Homo-oligomer: A and B are copies of this chain.
Amino acid sequence: MEFLKVTKDDGIARVVLSRGKVNAINEKVVDELSKCFKQLADDPTVKAIIFTGEGKFFTFGFDIPEFLSYPKDDFIRYLTKFTDLYTYLFLYPKPVIAALNGHTVAGGCMLAISCDYRIMVSGKVRIALNEINFASSLFAGSVEIMKLLIGQRKAETAVYSGAMYSPEEALELGLIDRIVSPDEMETEAHTIAEEYAGKDGAAFKSIKHLLRKTLADDFTLREKDSILEFVDIWYSENTWKQLQDKTIRS
């Protein structure tokens, strides 16, 4: 694994995303995360997983400069893999704790909200589904998961404004479940993972499917169309210009 560090300790696996300064998501990151989570699903010694990032970002989202060089068909292939990944996480048979060590933005937020629990560091970090602010749409599944997590009305406010929420605002919204200081993050995430790991695995998996399977089946049917519409908007004149400006500025 080029961009993941995986450790296991007494039933708890730790998956750390580590790619440059902002942990930007590209196709290789998605391939590695998919493969890694599948291996951990099959590993009978693993009872719960902590999913986190290295440095000051959980992840800043898609690696936009890299994707600006993608032909449309390749980008569709990537987006299909990406939406498959968050859907897989959403239905993952074991508990996944997102330990949000830093900024959790756009595609990064989509991965975070697909997990079972979100703990975030205090401070100047932000979490957002801010795609509208660079004239981009979203995906069917990402919108449905956001609606489930915080309710229809709050989800509308979040995705129409593209607001960058502080940990306190995110906790109030229900977008995260707990705030801890950076020092306590590793220990606290471990404690929460142990609580989940202490439950019967078969019962957890069965109950999680009762909670989430129909929803995922429903949005999966609409995901392909939503990707095609996302791509149409992404390559439109106005959006493309904003993506290029964003790339140059950053």
CB distance from A120 to the nearest CB of B (A): 15
- Beyond A200-B238, A214-B222, whether A116 also contacts B160 by CB under 8 A is yes
Q: Using a CB-CB cutoff of 8 Å, which residues 210-231 of chain A contact chain B?
A: 210-211, 214, 218, 222, 226, 229-230
* Cβ-based interface call for A131 (8 A): yes
* Cβ-based interface call for A155 (8 A): yes
- Copies of this chain: 3
CB distance from A163 to the nearest CB of B (A): 11
Q: How many residues of A contact B (CB 8 A)?
A: 50
* Cβ-based interface call for A239 (8 A): yes
Q: Which residues of B contact A148 (CB under 8 A)?
A: 152-153
Q: Give the CA-CA distance A200 to B137 in the complex, in Å.
A: 10
- Beyond A137-B210, A151-B151, A210-B137, whether A203 also contacts B239 by CB under 8 A is yes
* Cβ-based interface call for A5 (8 A): no
Q: A233 touching B202 by the CB < 8 A rule?
A: yes
Q: Give the CA-CA distance A242 to B200 in the complex, in Å.
A: 10
Q: Which residues of B contact A152 (CB under 8 A)?
A: 148-149, 211
Q: Which one, B95, B155, B177, contacts A211 given CB within 8 A?
A: B155
Q: Which residues of B contact A132 (CB under 8 A)?
A: 199-200, 203-204, 207
Q: Which residues of B contact A207 (CB under 8 A)?
A: 131-132, 137-138, 143, 159-160
* Cβ-based interface call for A236 (8 A): yes
Taken residue by residue from 137 to 149, chain A's Cβ proximity to chain B (1 for < 8 Å, 0 otherwise) reads as: 1111001000111
Q: A174 touching B203 by the CB < 8 A rule?
A: no
Query: 15 new A-B pairs (CB below 8 Å) besides A135-B200, A203-B239?
Result: A116-B160, A132-B207, A133-B199, A135-B199, A135-B203, A137-B203, A137-B210, A138-B206, A143-B210, A148-B152, A149-B152, A151-B151, A155-B211, A206-B233, A210-B226
Can you offer 22 A-B residue contacts whose CB atoms are under 8 A? A116-B160, A132-B199, A132-B204, A136-B203, A137-B206, A138-B207, A138-B210, A139-B210, A147-B211, A149-B152, A152-B211, A153-B174, A157-B177, A159-B207, A159-B211, A160-B196, A160-B204, A160-B207, A162-B199, A202-B238, A202-B239, A203-B239
